[in-house]
Amino acid sequence: MAKYSKKAAAKVARAMKKRKAGTLRSGRSKTKVTSRKQAIAIGLSEARAEGKKVPKKKTVKKASKKTAGKKKAAKKSRKSTKA
């Protein structure tokens, strides 16, 4: 079974063409999009908003957030003991 619907793929293709033409704009500020990845994200976001078949956004798990915080704290304490 396909992860993305054909309509979602069409939205991404449209966004990519607009980016190449230099007419794709992003967000409230209407900043010009130059990044390929950002163009794909905009296409998928529009498809999601219309209810097309697109996988959910990836999210950071709580466990990895906790370990990142611990690593940062450990690094900070090491710096203070060196001085």
Mean pLDDT of the chain: 87
Output the six-digit token pair for 49: 């908003």
Q: What is the pLDDT at residue 41?
A: 94
**CB contact burial 31-51 (16+ within 10 A = b; e otherwise):** eebeeeeebbbbbbebbbeee
Query: What is residue 83's predicted lDDT score, i.e. its pLDDT?
Result: 58
pLDDT of residue 78: 72
pLDDT the model gives residue 65: 67
pTM above 0.85, yes or no: no
pLDDT in tens, 21-55: 999 999 899 999 999 999 999 999 999 999 999 98
pLDDT in the model for residue 1: 81
Q: What is the DSSP string of 41-76?
A: HHHHHHHHHTT-S-PPPP---HHHHHHHHHHHHHHH
18 within 8 A of 24, measured Cβ to Cβ: yes
